[in-house]
């Protein structure tokens, strides 16, 4: 593409309606959604894929919630015979695995897939077919895990699957193999999405959107995606080593033959700790995005927040041993990780202070998305402080693997990630569907969730200090833990009610919600410039920006980008740091081959559970869809309209 073929010019004062209609018609043609079943499988537009991700992830959230509710009911009485120990072990393993791998990371990435192109002023992500593949591989992995559940093959060694319990001797059968392979699915999916987001954010921002003018939401997506790239391989390696130990009798984790059970813990937690920041940082992006329109002011301390995000991501890779304080590692090493775990409170604290300052200096509208942001601040600060407690080795040695830890991480994960996520749904639902969610149901859902959450998890701090360990399917009556457990179960019911109200609100509002305009919240970022829902092509003309709050500081004659071809799928590629236009590029159009490749690789990974021969055969088979996918074509985006003479 000739670098000089893009012209930035001012939008005409009074655009001719015919001209705009023609442009719209041609863009619609190039970017239209696919029809038919094959078309649905081949769909690559980021909005469509993101919506699939979001719906699927929320279904997994509901399943994980049901598992949690069953556990809470089991624990409401001592020596309860409702669930057998085997079923309970499967339930807590499935709950953790579902929430961490099938819900939390995919949903955060999915919201990014939907919003990042719109927020940075481009039409599509950099690698649309890769995103398509990423969704299918994620879905197949989730289906693998849950069909395992119905075949009594659900993993039962915990979501962290410590060896030797999860090794070949103590976990017979294929349960843990299902877990290990599901990891492969979700991690491949995560890596594909992250790579796409990184490239899109770096190279496709609207002209004028230098890095220091990028919305904080986009910053979090960028940093999170980079963390994924560095963290996910560790768990892929460890799950592959475990699969090898189980399938082909290697001895990576066998202490009897020179392996080490601790190796598993190091590899897993090297991923596991960044994983929780991978879940948390996008949520801070939601908060930063929501708090601005509802305080009617720019966020306080943009630079400080960006630096905090970067610091968190770096320090987050140096914390993992705090999950292993009880294993008897040398004291000096443990102290290093105590220091790092305490230190990470500083950037998180800076973010909290900046948000509070934004509130202080703003004019607050207490609408539902804002309520969830406020609830997040309260709960997350509490959870973070208990994290500082857990960072201290002596104290951790008492409360590690007790309900104290369960309370802590639910405070930071539900308070720190799910609350902002639900607020984000309320906030961006109008943009995605064109309808507002019910405000009254929203407030009800908030208070039910807030009260239910605290009622469920606050007693668990006390339970942990009183000696109740984790992952126990029952407890003795004389333990004295009954009352607090009963209280927690009651809270769980209230929490469930809140979730149900939220989901019903969303489903009802799809049909009956008030029609939303382009910008119902009067927000400041670029996605609110499009219609609700956005057209398939995003922006009629790609915008340019001159500040951090494009819609709040409109300039007369703000230029738009012209010169992109509108009869095929083109985007503008800009420089990384300052977003100067560089060249045009074609992005891929719809294709069935990612789906076929997902089927082939999915089949390979699943069959590897049963025989190692699946791997060489699968690699050979996968060559076919790969070749078809990457076969060079000069018209990757379809050309549909011939130029008029």
Partner 1 sequence: MTRNGILTILAVAVLGGCEREMRPPEVLPSSAARPRPIVRQTTLQPGRPLAQAEGRGPYDENAYSISQGQRLFSQYNCVGCHAHGGGGMGPALIDDTWIYGSEPQNIYATILEGRPNGMPSFGGHIPEQQAWQIVAYVRAMGRLVPKAAAPGRNDHLYSGESPQASGPGEELRQPAEHPR
Partner 2 sequence: MNALAFLAGSGFAGRQSALNPAGPQAGRIEDLWWLMFWVCTAVFVLVMLFFIAGMVRGRRARKERGVEAPMSVEPGVERRMMRTIVAAVAATVITLFGLLVASVATGRSISPLRVPEDALTVKVIGHQWWWDFEYQHPEPYRIIRSPNELHIPVGQPVRILTTSADVIHSFWVPNLHGKLDLIPGRTADTWIQADRPGVYRGQCAEFCGHQHAHMGFLVIAEPPERFAAWWERQRQPAPEPATPLQQRGRQVFLSQACPLCHTIQGTDAGSRVGPDLTHLASRRTLAAGTLPNTRGHLGGWIADPQSTKPGNLMPPNPMKSEDLQALLAYLESLR
Residues 70-99 that bind partner 2 (CB under 8 A): 84-86, 89
C-alpha span between 376 and 416 (Å, rounded): 6
Is the N-terminal amide bond of 533 cis, ω within 30° of 0? yes
**Residue from 328, 556, 642, 643 in contact with partner 2 (CB under 8 A):** 328
* Between 155 and 282, CB nearer to partner 1: 155
Q: Is 468 in the site for partner 2 (CB under 8 A)?
A: yes
The site partner of 639 among partner 1, partner 2, none (C-beta below 5 to 8 Å per kind) is none
Site string for partner 1, 85-114 (x = CB under 8 A): -x----------------------------
In the complex, the smallest distance separating the C-beta of residue 258 from partner 2, rounded to whole angstroms, is 9
Number of residues that bind partner 2 (CB under 8 A): 94
**Residue from 335, 531, 576, 611 in contact with partner 2 (CB under 8 A):** 335
Q: Is 261 in the site for partner 2 (CB under 8 A)?
A: yes
Q: Are strands 542-543 and 559-562 parallel, antiparallel or unpaired?
A: antiparallel
In this structure, which long-range contacts are made by residues 564-568, counting pairs with CB atoms below 8 Å and at least 24 apart in sequence? 564/6, 566/23, 566/26, 566/27, 566/30, 567/26, 567/29, 567/30, 567/639, 567/640, 567/641, 567/643, 568/30, 568/635, 568/637, 568/638, 568/639, 568/640
- DSSP letter at 516 equals P
The site partner of 399 among partner 2, partner 1, none (C-beta below 5 to 8 Å per kind) is partner 2
**Residue from 45, 123, 246, 410 in contact with partner 1 (CB under 8 A):** 246
C-alpha span between 540 and 19 (Å, rounded): 11
Q: Is 175 in the site for partner 1 (CB under 8 A)?
A: yes
Site string for partner 1, 600-629 (x = CB under 8 A): ------xx-xxx-xx--x------------
In the complex, the smallest distance separating the C-beta of residue 272 from partner 2, rounded to whole angstroms, is 15
**Residue from 12, 255, 361, 517 in contact with partner 1 (CB under 8 A):** 255
Interacting positions 547-576 with partner 2 (CB under 8 A): 549, 552-553
Q: Is 180 in the site for partner 1 (CB under 8 A)?
A: no
**Residue from 239, 338, 485, 509 in contact with partner 2 (CB under 8 A):** 338
Cβ atoms of residues 120 and 208 within 8 Å: no
* Between 260 and 518, CB nearer to partner 2: 260
Q: Is 331 in the site for partner 2 (CB under 8 A)?
A: yes
Q: Is 164 in the site for partner 1 (CB under 8 A)?
A: yes
Phi, psi dihedrals of residue 543, rounded to the nearest 5°: -80, 170
In the complex, the smallest distance separating the C-beta of residue 145 from partner 1, rounded to whole angstroms, is 13
Q: Which residue has the tokens 């489903």?
A: 507
- Nearest alpha carbon to residue 523 among 515, 532, 535, 514: 532
Helices (H), 344-481: 345-360, 368-391, 393-399, 403-410, 419-433, 439-465
The site partner of 477 among partner 1, partner 2, none (C-beta below 5 to 8 Å per kind) is none
Site string for partner 2, 393-412 (x = CB under 8 A): xxxxxxxxxx----------
Nearby residues of 598 by Cβ (< 8 Å), 6 or more positions away: 133, 136, 137, 140
- Nearest alpha carbon to residue 120 among 417, 529, 519: 529
Which region, judged by CB under 8 A, interacts with partner 1, from 253-261, 305-313, 411-419, 632-640?
253-261
Cβ atoms of residues 220 and 284 within 8 Å: yes
Q: Is 386 in the site for partner 2 (CB under 8 A)?
A: yes
* Between 83 and 463, CB nearer to partner 1: 83
C-alpha span between 435 and 512 (Å, rounded): 8
* Between 23 and 357, CB nearer to partner 2: 357
**In degrees to the nearest 10, what's the CA dihedral of 604, 608, 614, 619?**
50
Q: Is 307 in the site for partner 2 (CB under 8 A)?
A: no
Is the N-terminal amide bond of 164 cis, ω within 30° of 0? yes
Which region, judged by CB under 8 A, interacts with partner 2, from 112-120, 203-211, 361-369, 445-453?
361-369
C-alpha span between 73 and 75 (Å, rounded): 5
The site partner of 162 among partner 1, partner 2, none (C-beta below 5 to 8 Å per kind) is partner 2
**Residue from 43, 67, 109, 245 in contact with partner 1 (CB under 8 A):** 245
For the chain, give the number of residues.
645
* Between 246 and 322, CB nearer to partner 1: 246
**Residue from 3, 5, 15, 170 in contact with partner 2 (CB under 8 A):** 170
* Between 194 and 485, CB nearer to partner 2: 485
Interacting positions 35-74 with partner 2 (CB under 8 A): none
**Residue from 314, 360, 613, 630 in contact with partner 2 (CB under 8 A):** 360
Cβ atoms of residues 358 and 300 within 8 Å: yes
C-alpha span between 367 and 232 (Å, rounded): 37
C-alpha span between 341 and 339 (Å, rounded): 5
**Residue from 12, 15, 173, 554 in contact with partner 1 (CB under 8 A):** 173
Burial (0-12, 13-18, 19+ Cβ within 10 Å), 246: buried
The site partner of 314 among partner 2, partner 1, none (C-beta below 5 to 8 Å per kind) is none
Between the alpha carbon of residue 635 and those of residues 166, 624, 631, 632, 639, the distances in Å are 50, 21, 11, 9, 7
* Between 293 and 498, CB nearer to partner 2: 293
**Residue from 1, 73, 226, 301 in contact with partner 2 (CB under 8 A):** 301
What is the token pair recorded at 558? 């703000």
C-alpha span between 312 and 347 (Å, rounded): 6
Between the alpha carbon of residue 209 and those of residues 214, 297, 306, 416, 550, the distances in Å are 6, 19, 15, 29, 10
Q: Which residue has the tokens 């499009």?
A: 530
Q: Is 382 in the site for partner 2 (CB under 8 A)?
A: yes
Cβ atoms of residues 48 and 130 within 8 Å: no
- DSSP letter at 101 equals I
In the complex, the smallest distance separating the C-beta of residue 397 from partner 1, rounded to whole angstroms, is 15
Q: Is 612 in the site for partner 2 (CB under 8 A)?
A: no
Site string for partner 1, 308-347 (x = CB under 8 A): --------------------x-x-----------------
Q: Is 152 in the site for partner 1 (CB under 8 A)?
A: yes
Please give the residue ranges that form the binding site for partner 1 (CB under 8 A): 86, 148, 151-153, 164, 167-170, 172-175, 245-247, 249, 251, 254-258, 328, 330, 606-607, 609-611, 613-614, 617
């Amino acid at each position: 593409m000739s670098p000089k073929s893009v012209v930035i010019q001012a939008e005409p004062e009074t655009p001719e309606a015919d001209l705009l209609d023609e442009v719209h018609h041609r863009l619609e043609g190039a970017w239209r959604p696919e029809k038919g079943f094959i078309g649905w499988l081949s769909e690559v537009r980021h909005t469509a894929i993101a919506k699939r991700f979001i719906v699927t992830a929320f279904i997994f959230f509901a399943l994980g919630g049901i598992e949690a509710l069953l556990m809470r009911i089991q624990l409401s009485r001592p020596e309860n015979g409702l669930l057998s120990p085997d079923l309970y072990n499967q339930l807590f393993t499935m709950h953790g695995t579902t929430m961490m791998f099938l819900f939390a990371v995919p949903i955060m990435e999915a919201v990014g897939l939907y919003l990042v192109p719109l927020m940075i002023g481009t039409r599509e992500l950099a690698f649309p077919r890769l995103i398509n593949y990423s969704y299918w591989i994620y879905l197949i992995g989730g289906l693998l895990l849950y069909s395992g559940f119905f075949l009594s093959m659900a993993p039962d060694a915990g979501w962290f699957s410590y060896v030797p319990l999860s090794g070949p001797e103590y976990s017979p059968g294929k349960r843990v193999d299902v877990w290990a392979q599901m990891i492969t699915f979700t991690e491949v999916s995560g890596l594909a999405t992250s790579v796409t987001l990184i490239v899109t954010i770096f190279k496709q921002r609207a002209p004028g959107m230098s890095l220091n003018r990028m919305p904080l939401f986009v910053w979090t997506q960028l940093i999170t995606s980079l963390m994924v790239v560095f963290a996910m391989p560790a768990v892929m390696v460890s799950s592959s080593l475990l699969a090898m130990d189980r399938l082909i009798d290697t001895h990576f984790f066998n202490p009897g033959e020179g392996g080490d059970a601790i190796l598993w813990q190091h590899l897993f937690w090297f991923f596991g700790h960044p994983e929780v920041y991978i879940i948390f940082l996008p949520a801070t992006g939601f908060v930063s995005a929501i708090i601005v329109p509802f305080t009617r002011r720019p966020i306080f301390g943009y630079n400080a927040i960006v630096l905090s995000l970067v610091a968190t991501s770096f320090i987050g890779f140096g914390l993992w041993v705090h999950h292993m304080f009880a294993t008897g590692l040398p004291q000096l090493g443990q102290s290093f990780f105590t220091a790092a775990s305490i230190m990470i409170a500083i950037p998180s604290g800076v973010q909290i202070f900046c948000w509070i300052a934004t509130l202080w200096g703003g004019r607050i509208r207490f609408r539902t998305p804002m309520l969830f942001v406020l609830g997040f601040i309260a709960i997350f600060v509490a959870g973070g402080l208990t994290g500082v407690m857990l960072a201290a080795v002596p104290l951790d040695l008492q409360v590690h693997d007790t309900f104290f830890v369960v309370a802590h991480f639910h405070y930071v994960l539900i308070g720190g990630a799910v609350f902002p996520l639900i607020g984000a749904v309320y906030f961006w639902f109008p943009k995605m569907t064109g309808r507002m969610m019910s405000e009254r149901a929203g407030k009800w859902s908030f208070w039910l969730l807030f009260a239910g959450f605290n009622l469920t998890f606050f007693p668990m701090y006390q339970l942990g200090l009183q000696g109740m360990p984790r992952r126990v399917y029952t407890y003795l009556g004389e333990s004295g833990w009954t009352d607090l457990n009963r209280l927690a179960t009651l809270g769980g019911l209230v929490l469930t009610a809140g979730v149900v109200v939220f989901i019903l609100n969303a489903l009802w509002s799809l049909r009956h919600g008030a029609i939303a305009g382009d910008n119902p919240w009067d927000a400041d970022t670029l996605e609110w410039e499009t219609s609700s829902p956005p057209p398939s092509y995003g922006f009629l003309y790609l915008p340019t920006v001159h500040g951090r709050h494009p819609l709040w500081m409109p300039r007369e004659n703000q230029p738009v980008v012209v010169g992109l071809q509108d009869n095929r799928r083109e985007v503008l590629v800009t420089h990384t740091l300052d977003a100067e236009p560089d060249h045009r590029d074609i992005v891929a159009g719809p294709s069935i081959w990612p789906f076929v490749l997902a089927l082939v690789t999915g089949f390979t990974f699943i069959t590897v559970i049963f025989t190692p021969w699946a791997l060489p055969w699968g690699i050979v088979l996968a060559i076919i869809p790969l070749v078809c996918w990457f076969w060079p074509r000069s018209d990757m985006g379809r050309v549909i309209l011939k130029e008029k003479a």
